[in-house]
Amino acid sequence: MITIIPSLEVMKAVVDNNISSPASQIRRLAFDNSTDLMSQSGVSVLLEGRLYAKIKTKLNLDQQKFFENIYRIDESAKDVNDYDIIKAIKWVAQSESNSKKVVILSENLTDYQNICNKNIKCITPASFLDLVGQAQKLYSMKIFSTLDDALMAILFIIS
Amino acid sequence: MTLKNVRLARAENLSAEIRKRFSLPSQGLIIIESLNPDLKENFVAIKEGGIREYLLSKGNFLEGEITD
């Protein structure tokens, strides 16, 4: 099973108002793709609690309901002193990686470099779209029997 | 009507009757909304605008800037 954790810049591209750049478009597509994978496979999307508190300020009640019903919101690092969103995502990712494979979606890979290992991959939204496309192609060609297997191979073994 | 719950589904897994009733495509991501107080379900296809477009269908994002 794979858990996808988007970083703040990815979520800003989804809910902020000034987001017309090509890079923002890629980030939105990566988030859409992550949500789409949830409906096709065992993938889940986890929003770190501090991050969600930031984007929640932009959401009305129906929009909050959508996020809180669809995505896992992990508040384990919410009130920890001296933790910013990056530290909190790193802590949650390491904890999550004890039971799942974890993908952190971020443009700033150096922020997460020191926690990447065989269970935690840090990749850019553009790379994520490319790799997921490869996995979907291999699955449609029946090289893998499930999309989960294809994603696991492409994201954690081959790449 | 108030949005009470939301689920994800695939159009290809829904019945032809539901697809026809809600004008859904034959494939793709679908959001199932549970609404009340007149309890009912609504099925919404996610189109090219993605999740952002769906969220905006519920109203504009609130003012203010998200800071790091």
- Summarised one tens digit per residue, pLDDT across range A14-41 is 998 777 899 999 999 999 999 999 999 9
CB nearest to B9's CB, from A32, A39, A55 = A39
Q: Residue B53's closest chain A neighbor by CA?
A: A14
Helix (H) or strand (E) holding A31: helix A22-40
Using 50, 70 and 90 to split pLDDT, how confident is the model at B64? confident
Q: Which residues of B touch A62 (CB under 8 A)?
A: 2-3, 58-59
Tell whether A58 lies on the interface with B, counting CB pairs under 8 A: yes
Q: Where are the beta strands (DSSP E) in chain A?
A: 2-6, 44-48, 72-74, 101-105, 120-123
Between CA A47 and CA A105 the distance in angstroms is 11
Between CA A126 and CA A112 the distance in angstroms is 17
Distance in Å, alpha carbon of A152 to nearest chain B alpha carbon: 21
Task: Judge whether residue B1 has pLDDT over 90.
Answer: no
pLDDT number for residue A111? 96
- Among A69, A47, A33, A71, residue whose Cα is nearest residue A147: A33
pLDDT number for residue B34? 96
Burial (0-12, 13-18, 19+ Cβ within 10 Å), A22? exposed
* C-beta separation of A32 from A6 below 8 A: no
Residue boundaries of the structural domains of chain B: 2-57
Catalogue all structural domains in chain A, each as residue range(s) with its CATH number.
Answer: 2-125 (3.40.50)
Tens digits of residue pLDDT in B13-63: 999 999 999 999 999 999 999 998 889 999 999 999 999 999 999 999 998
> What tokens appear for B63 in the block?
């003012």
Tell whether A39 lies on the interface with B, counting CB pairs under 8 A: yes
Q: Which residues of B touch A70 (CB under 8 A)?
A: 6-8
Tens digits of residue pLDDT in A43-57: 999 999 999 999 999
Tens digits of residue pLDDT in A76-108: 998 888 899 999 999 999 999 999 999 999 999
Distance in Å, alpha carbon of A61 to nearest chain B alpha carbon: 9
Please give the DSSP secondary-structure letter assigned to residue A106: -
Using 50, 70 and 90 to split pLDDT, how confident is the model at A158? confident
Tens digits of residue pLDDT in A106-116: 999 999 999 99
Question: In the beta sheet, which residues pair with residue B41?
Answer: B34
On average, the pLDDT of chain A sits at: 95
pLDDT number for residue A150? 97
**Would you tell me how many other CB atoms lie within 10 Å of the CB of residue B36?**
11
| Interface confidence (ipTM) of the complex | 0.94
